[in-house]
Chains A and B, each alone.
Chain A
Amino acid sequence: MGHYLLRRLVEGIPLLLGITLVVYLVLVSIPGGPLAAYRNNPRVRAEDLARLEKQLGLDRPVHVRYALWLGRFVRGDWGYSYVTRQPVLSMIWERFQNTVYLMGISMLVTLLLALPIGIYSAVRQYSLFDHAMTGLAFMGYSMPVFWLGLLLMLLFSVELRWFPAGGMFTVGEELSGWEAFLDRLRYLALPVITLTIVSTGFYARYLRASLLDVIHQDYVRTAWAKGLRGSRVIFRHALRNALIPFVTVVAIHLPQLFTGAVVVETLFAWPGIGRLFWDSALRFDYPVLMGVLAIGALLVWFFNLLADLLYGYLDPRIRYG
């Protein structure tokens, strides 16, 4: 186990290096560049552009720029945004909290819905409920997020005026305690509903499948034969084992909690990482983009490792060599 962990950690280093390199090359090869906005401004003359290029280090060859970025990055210096001139780390941190807040709650709501739906669908396989849920699940995750979100916004914000059209809380009004809490919830509603609709189906279907696998196994039949109560068989015997692959799937999807949802955050004006990434991409803000992408890569790698370890931990049959 210790050996396995060490091997995975060592393997991770070239992997992450490779990812940052590829990402860097892709970014710099996109036409435009961070000074694009300055280029067709009549006041910014050729000599101003040359001076700015030098200040940002853009006059150096790509491999030198990458090496400089990497050198600073591994030492914990994430650099300054080309656009805002603010430290990248503090820019990301400010948005990070908002993203965890939105994604954490929608993940929670999703799981709270997916668990009972998945279990009930498996127990009552091919029942009306199962068919209905299967239909809804497919409808949910085949719907484009931007379209669904826009539709919900038009209905619930513009027409019915139940929920605000984007933002995180009411700006410029005195609210405190309970009122403020409700205000926050109103702003959360639409993005959370959108995210929940598109992902609940996925988790519910996954749990249903893995529970069905288990339900037909001999030890479950034995439990039934012993005359145990239905709920006891399902929750104590079947579900325990069915949850093992489910937990790993959830773990693999956890990085989303931190990297955010570009489309939903943009649609609902949520000041999270996804939107920071989108804005930075439009402005060719390489240091910020690299920061967000590096965190994303690191988290995906880490949670995959965690899922693998967790799997072995929860299921004694798995052994790592």
Chain B
Amino acid sequence: MQQAVRSGINRRQFLKRVGAAAGATVLLGPLGRLTGYGQMQKVVRAALWQEPEGLNPFFFIQTASRIVRKRVLEGLFRIAPDGSVVPVLAAEVPTQQNGGISEDGKTITIKLKKGLVWSDGTPVTAQDVVFTWEVVMDDRNPVSSRAGYDLIEDMSTPDDTTVVMRFREVYAPFLTLFSVNHAVLPRHVFNGNTDLSQSPFNREPVVGTGPFKFVRWESGAFIELEKNPMYRGAPDKPLLDKLIYTIVPARETAIQQIKTGQVDAMWNLLESQIPEFQGLADVRLLNTPSANLEYLGLNLSDPRSQDPNNPGYTDPNKPHPILGDPAVREAIELAIDKQAIVDALFGGLTSVAVSPISPFHWANNPEIGPSEYNPDKAKQLLDEAGWTPGPGGVRVKDGVRMDLRIMTTTGDQIRLQTEQIIQRYLLEVGINLQIVNVPSAVLFSKNGPLQTGDYDIAEDTWGPDFDPADFLTILFHSNSLPPNGWNFFRINSPDIDKHIDLGNSAIGIEARKPHYQIAQKLILDTGAYIPLYNRSLIDAFRTNVKGVTEGGNPWDDFSWDAENWDV
């Protein structure tokens, strides 16, 4: 009796409480976090399919983080669509003529624009630049790269708008410091404390100089920016009241949302997604060339060898049994019809790549043209080198059959198709390719095939920044042989090293250019790097967004000109 009563009451109470709690969730949940906006505002919503890590320019490296950050925090310079350097916070681009670069190239003087203010009204001063450098060099901060900053001996500020940087040695890419992918931080917000490792500013940069001001960030949902009334540009800029970056889990979601008008713009489509937009009158695509290109990397070292100095890595001095033969490398490039790949996979939206440095880059060597497609010549080269056709048409030499693995990241349809086409081309000349793709985290990991050298041919995308120094050095310099860098081809050429070094240390772009141009030629001559096609950046806008610069900016992101947007 007692138990029956107990369980009866309990169950009822239990059910009542469950019901009440659930009811409260339904009713209060939706009402819980409502916020109001001013009416009739000009708002653009742009979808990112990747959530930014944070908004500190020095700690986070993903593109999505940079896109949002750049609207709020600015650097000394930025790069215009034509590749020229434009002063932003700086008053002019330092040269030897205007006294910005010293005779020995080691001292750089930068003048800031006069009358600049942060979004809270505080003046921007040279002290902010010095503070930013101190933040980068503070060991407590998780700074992703100190490249260049660690070459600065000291910085001084003769007056409030002048910064003098003294370098230990000539650092040619100095224009990228505090600029492009980096920015200047507001010293007064931190009271001069350079430890930003756990600062809320990393996520909520509430003070900046950019056209927009940070408002709030709802994790997994959106980051809201509003017009910065203190923005130095024309008084009416930006034209929008709000720019909201919405965060979606995948490109597919963003595509559906831009079709329905839930968002007005979306970042970064895949080439294979272009057909989804055909016949849509209210969405248009922005196709921006990029310095990134798809290429094949050929392993010059024997995948089975061991470097006595670096156990676990192949020996760069032990040649690859097949690819170690220069004739084979040349034959592979001759056997591939790159134009046919571009036509088949991209329908004319991109072009054949000719050099690691794209044609529109200032450091490109204009004398380099596309490679020749000539399978007969490829066969002839292989014949002459002693590779004779064996069973199944696959060539053999001294008992070594031409069986090679080609490797790229999984989950990319276009890449897989590229591999399949190349597979057919190479089989025609007697080289058998086996496709073995791995996830990108594996491909690029410390113990991955590229680093250890356990691969034959890799397909990847890479390209230089505005300043090609880092790119050329980390990919092709012998100092960057794994595990010390990304020279996974194992190119070991004193000549290439010399010209990269000269390009990295000469003073002024005109003096650097010829060295990089020679280096490109030498890199292509190794045959270990085969450029395939240029990658472009594809973004989408609804047609109600006006003021978007045609052709985009290869050196920036799709919202680089958001201050000019209007709806």
Contact = CB atoms under 8 A, between A and B. Distances in A.
6 contacts: A36-B444, A48-B146, A51-B146, A98-B220, A165-B262, A278-B249
A33 B440 CA distance: 12
B174 interface: no
Contacts of B248: 166, 269
Enumerate the 9 nearest inter-chain pairs by beta-carbon distance, A residue then B residue, closest first: A271-B220, A32-B441, A184-B30, A42-B470, A165-B256, A104-B25, A43-B145, A101-B29, A174-B37
B257 interface: yes
B442 interface: yes
A225 interface: no
Interface string A92-114: 00110110110011011000000
Contacts of A270: 220
B53 A267 contact: no
A39 B445 contact: yes
B71 interface: no
Interface stretch (B103-111, B197-205, B315-323, B394-402): B197-205
Interface string B176-203: 0000010000000000000001100011
Interface stretch (A6-14, A80-88, A133-141, A214-222): A80-88
A279 interface: yes
Nearest to B28: A101
Interface string A178-196: 0011001100100000000
Contacts of B210: none
Interface string B483-497: 111100000000000
A30 B446 CA distance: 12
Contact of A271 (B145, B219, B470): B219
A181 B221 contact: no
Contacts of A279: 51, 220, 249
Interface in B129-183: 139, 142-147, 181
Nearest to A183: B30
B348 interface: no
A80 B447 CA distance: 26
Contacts of B11: 240, 243, 314
A157 B447 contact: no
A33 B253 contact: no
Given A84-B202, A97-B32, 19 more contacts: A30-B441, A31-B445, A32-B439, A32-B444, A36-B445, A42-B470, A45-B145, A46-B484, A84-B54, A91-B219, A100-B29, A104-B26, A171-B244, A172-B41, A176-B36, A269-B221, A278-B249, A283-B53, A314-B7
Nearest to A314: B7
Contact of B144 (A41, A104, A174, A275): A41
B234 interface: no
A317 B3 CA distance: 10
A211 interface: no
Nearest to A49: B446
Contacts of A55: 142
Nearest to A35: B446
Interface stretch (B92-100, B119-127, B380-388, B471-479): B471-479
B132 to A, nearest CB: 16
B65 to A, nearest CB: 10
Given A40-B444, A84-B53, A172 B45 contact: yes
A80 B413 CA distance: 36
Contacts of B10: 313-314
A84 B202 CA distance: 8
A85 B31 contact: no
Interface in A44-84: 44-48, 51-52, 55-56, 80, 83-84
A155 to B, nearest CB: 12
Interface of B: 3-4, 7, 10-11, 14, 21-22, 25-26, 29-32, 34, 36-39, 41, 43, 45, 51, 53-54, 59, 61-62, 139, 142-147, 181, 197-198, 202-203, 218-222, 224, 242, 244, 246-250, 253, 256-257, 259-260, 262, 439, 441-442, 444-448, 462, 465, 470-471, 473-475, 483-486
Given A37-B62, A42-B473, A84-B54, A153 B256 contact: yes
Contacts of B144: 38, 41, 43-44, 48, 52
A291 interface: no
Given A31-B442, A266-B249, A269-B248, A108 B26 contact: yes
Contact of B257 (A91, A165, A172, A175): A165
B25 A101 contact: yes
Contact of A166 (B253, B441, B442, B486): B253
A276 interface: yes
A268 B448 CA distance: 34
Contact of B260 (A43, A165, A185): A165
Contacts of B247: 269, 271
Contact of B445 (A33, A46, A101, A269): A33
A41 B145 contact: yes
A44 B374 CA distance: 39
Nearest to A32: B441
Contacts of B220: 95, 98, 269-272, 275-276, 279
A316 B2 CA distance: 11
Interface string A293-321: 00000000000000000000111100000
B249 A269 contact: yes
A43 B181 CA distance: 10
B61 A38 contact: yes
Interface string A238-271: 0010010001000000000000000001111111
Contacts of B203: 84-86
A24 interface: no
B474 A181 contact: no
A212 interface: no
